[in-house]
Structure 1
Amino acid sequence: MAATNNKLTLPLLAAAMLQFAPLALPAHAAAPQVHSQAPGYYRMMLGEFEITVLSDGTHAFPIDTVMNNITPAQIGRDLDDAGLAQPLQGSINAFLVNTGKRLILIDAGAGALYGDCCGRLLQHLRAAGYQPEQVDMVLLTHLHKDHAGGVMRQGAAAFPNAVLRVAQGEADYWLSKSEQDAAPEFLRSFFDSARAAVAPYQAAGRFQPYAAYGQLEPGIRSLPAPGHTPGHAAYLVESQGRKLLVWGDIVHVAPLQFPHPDATVKYDSDAAGAQRQRRELLDMAASQRMVVGAAHIAFPGLGRIGKTGGPVGTGGSYRWLPVNYEGTPGAD
């Protein structure tokens, strides 16, 4: 009797299961892939100032031919520890400071000088809700292509109403024909690029190098940081006791130069000076719990500095502590 009941039950069970079987619906996974990032801007509040980080793009950084004072074994180990491999994509970041009264851009990316990888700063500036004509001042940390190239567009000023400022020592060096003739061959095109970048601002009377480091605008002052270039500057932005240190090219490759701060790049004008400035600014940022705005750390390049291997000022190594992402920008 039990066997007969089982034979009768099986067809009924199969019919019941069919009622709950998924229907064969058409798939939509064949939608085309986008292959592009979202607009590259990120905001945070610094006291009363609104900071908008703008990405100019990323480019393959040639670690194997550029990095000095670090061994291939250390490079391989540190990149592996960070889950990275060569070629490593390096970010090019710029920092827009809205004080409520003035709109000030610190560094301007590479513009057209690095090819198709970069030159997206103006696109991202507009996506962030601004227009190039609204920028009142552009402060450059130095006149290398990936920081100054973006101030021009097809030979004209990309920020037509802005005053362009850089340390006088930086301008004196990169705008000098005699310094260009004495420079290593691989650096000579940088002089041509610097002259081309500042030319439209010079013509308009808007190129104004500053002779002394210090306060340039309420809440913004320049700090001497020579080494990477002769007149390299950092900018300290401060509002309501909050501090942001925009440090230019103090660090190029975070996973290498935080554990090995004496690692340099061949583009450093003075490698020993670059090492010294790196440790001084790392110690300052760590001891004062500043937020750092880094030109070449993964976008948005905002973070704090942690110290390992001993107290601040005693040597050792460092670590990068990225700021926590906030969907609605709040005060740091």
Structure 2
Amino acid sequence: MIKQTALAALAAALFAAPAFAAAPMVKTQAPGYFRMMLGDFEITAISDGTTELPVDTLLQGMKKGEIDSELKKHFVQSPLETSINAFLINTGSKLILVDSGAAGVFGPNTGKFAANLKAAGYQPEQVDEVYITHMHGDHVAGLVANGQRVFTNAIVRAQKQESDFWLSKENMEKNPAKADFFKGAMASLNPYVSAGKYKPFEGDVELAPGVSSHSGKGHTPGHATYVVQSKGQKLVLIGDLIHVAAVQMDHPEVTISFDSDQKAAAAERRQAFDAAARGGYLIGAAHLQFPGIGHLEKEGKGYEFIPVNYSIPR
């Protein structure tokens, strides 16, 4: 009897489930980069993180209740967690970055660009040129760290009308409500200006083989988009022509308070979206859900965004 009791106790000990504590939640995301090929070019979308925007009050031309209804259709709500994306183009002879992220100035969930760039296999000093869509902080703050140039070997380029506006102290004095925007642009760009590393351009020009600019003025006085083409494939990086896909795809006439010229911003979005839908080429945007790359199809008076198919670069 004693032997049987001992055996039973041993069996119970061997087969009893171990009493482990619950594993702690990690609550981090995978490194934020997405890579694809465009002809012979390698395109890498890089996330700077997300920021929450009160889009129900920022969007213009639609009532708050209507905005809330549109957001609900897409299973989101205000404040909307909004992606901040930058794009790296490796042409084989040049490494070109479009925009640089917010460097943390748009809240604690931003400022991820530098780490994600390195996770994607690149170092800041490898970047040859940086093309800026416009000089709002979530696009240029990542150019510097502690007042020093992050991309030490790079030339920075933007439309001349953009830098003429945002790097002017006189314009800042005329627009006191936007003083922080001016100060942020100056802090981000002036180290490159002082080093002779800033070279503005005017109009629609080829900046590098396969990469050209397209000028605009709706979102900011010199907002530029960038057209990337290789072996018959095309990607247009549209910057801030759209902020809230859940609303502005169906209602492209809706603008946002950040637009300096509301009418022009809506017209430029419509023009760019119509061209992309007709041409069947890709667009990439700073504030579409990461990675922010996909196709557009015309849908009634608006558009449907079809995210790019996930693929392994070959």
Same fold flag (TM > 0.5)? yes
- Report the alpha carbon displacement of residue 55 of structure 1 after superposing the two structures with TM: 0.2
What is the distance in 1 between the residues matched to 2:233 and 2:16? 58
Other structure's SS at 1:278 match:
helix
Q: Give, as a single letter, the amino acid of the residue that structure 1 aligns with 2:85.
A: N
- Report how far residue 118 of structure 1 moved: 0.7
The AA in structure 2 aligned to 1:99 is: T
**Which residue identity is paired with 1:228?**
H
Residue 219 (structure 1) aligned with residue 184 (structure 2): no
Deviation at 1:329, TM superposition (A): 2.1
State the 1:28 CA deviation.
5.2
Q: Is contact 1:167–1:213 with CA below 8 Å preserved after alignment? A: no
Q: Which amino acid aligns with 1:304?
A: H
Q: Does 1:156 align with 2:165?
A: no
The residue type paired with residue 208 of structure 1 is K
Shift of 1:32: 1.5
Mapped to 1, the partners of 2:173 and 2:193 lie a distance apart of: 23
Q: What are the superposed Cα offsets for residues 248-291 of structure 1, whole Å, 9 maximum, x if unpaired?
A: 00000000100110111111110000010000000011111111
Q: Does 1:208 align with 2:199?
A: yes
Cα distance in 2 for residues equivalent to 1:27 and 1:50: 49
Partner of 2:267: 276
RMSD over equivalenced CA pairs, Å: 1.5
Residues 236 and 244 in structure 1, CA contact (< 8 A), matched pair in contact too: yes
Say if 2:102 and 2:137, in contact at 8 Å, map to a contact too: yes
Matched, 1:108 2:100: yes
Q: Highest Rg: 1 or 2?
A: 1
Which residue of 2 is the match for residue 234 of structure 1? 225
Give SS of 1:147's match: helix
TM-score, normalised relative to structure 2? 0.93
Give the deviation of 1:30 after TM superposition: 1.2
Give the CA deviation at 1:27: 5.6
Gaps of 5+ in 2: 1-10
Summarize the Cα distance change of 1:122–1:26 in structure 2 as closer, same or farther, 3 Å threshold: same
Q: How many residues align?
A: 302
1:137 & 1:31 partners in 2: Cα distance? 45
Amino acid of the structure 1 residue aligned with 2:198: F
Name the residue aligned to 1:199.
190
| Residue 85 of structure 1: how far off its partner (Å) | 1.6
* Matching residue of 1:8: none
Residue in 1 that maps onto 2:111: 119
Greater shift in the superposed pair: 239-248 or 210-219: 210-219
Asked whether the 8 Å contact 1:58–1:90 carries over to 2, the reply is yes
Give matches, 1:130-145, under 5 Å. 130-145=122-137
Is the Cα–Cα contact under 8 Å of residues 56 and 79 in structure 2 kept in the other structure? no
SS of the residue aligned with 1:201?
Answer: helix
2:76 is paired with a residue whose SS is coil
8 Å contact from structure 1 (residues 70, 260) kept in 2: no
Normalised by the size of structure 1, how large is the TM-score? 0.88
> Residue 178 of structure 1: which of 170, 190, 209 is its match?
170
Structure 2 counterpart SS, 1:296: coil
- What per-residue deviation string (whole Å, max 9, x for no partner) do you get for residues 158-217 of structure 1? 1000000000000001011222222261x2210011111111111211011112321000
State the distance in 2 between where 1:89 and 1:50 align.
28
Alpha-carbon offset, residue 225 of structure 1: 2.2
The percentage of counterpart residues that share the same residue type is: 46
Partner residue in 2 for 1:246 = 237
Aligned match of 1:298: 289
Divergent runs of 4+, >3 A: none
